Amino acid sequence: MNQSTSKAVPTIWLIRHGETEWSKSGRHTGTTDIALTEQGCRQASALAPLLASQTFDLVLTSPMQRAMDTCRLAGLGEQAEIEPCLHEWNYGIYEGRTTADIREQVPDWSVWTSPMPEGETAEQVGARAQALIDRLLSRKASQIALFSHAHFLRTLAAVWATGAPSLGAHLALDTATASVLGFERETRAILKWNRQP
């Protein structure tokens, strides 16, 4: 995939929010607006020196409180704009449940391959990620920061690199980490992944 029709060649930083009680316990947190833990706040603050070493001309955050608070504690809150497309995967009936719990009823269940009743499929999340990528590439921004959530950022990186969300299954992403998307010559690439501050 190349970037021949884009107006800029951006570097896109993906920042996952800090720890919440649900991320700590492995519960799928999509539409539930849950706060950072004290540890999550410390993690978010620890991102500030790393992000301060960059100059961002566009900062976007998910509308969920955990992402907005991470953005603020990481030092970019005043620059940030709310971007609805950055919200987490809608897990539908599986909201708030762990994979192990779900697999007691649905063996081999996976967010990447299984139906998501009342929620979003991997293809739908991939389409949302692609729409956001298209808009970012049309902007005159060279350094972009996106504050969002694990499954959505994994999907975004997968779509950036391959055009399909399935690669996201292989991209583990910890809380309060920074990853970087960009270009290797004209080819879209994942330049850094799951970097701790």
State the catalytic residues. 17, 88
Contact present, 29 and 98 (Cβ < 8 Å): no
Contact present, 137 and 3 (Cβ < 8 Å): yes
Matching residue, tokens 């060649």: 9
Contact present, 193 and 179 (Cβ < 8 Å): yes
Contact present, 34 and 2 (Cβ < 8 Å): no
What lies within 8 Å, CB to CB, of 4 at 6+ separation is 186
How many other β-carbons are positioned within 10 Å of the β-carbon of residue 86?
23
Q: Residue type for 89, please? A: W
| Angstrom distances, CA of residue 188 to CA of 43, 51, 126 | 29, 22, 16
What lies within 8 Å, CB to CB, of 183 at 6+ separation is 3, 9, 189
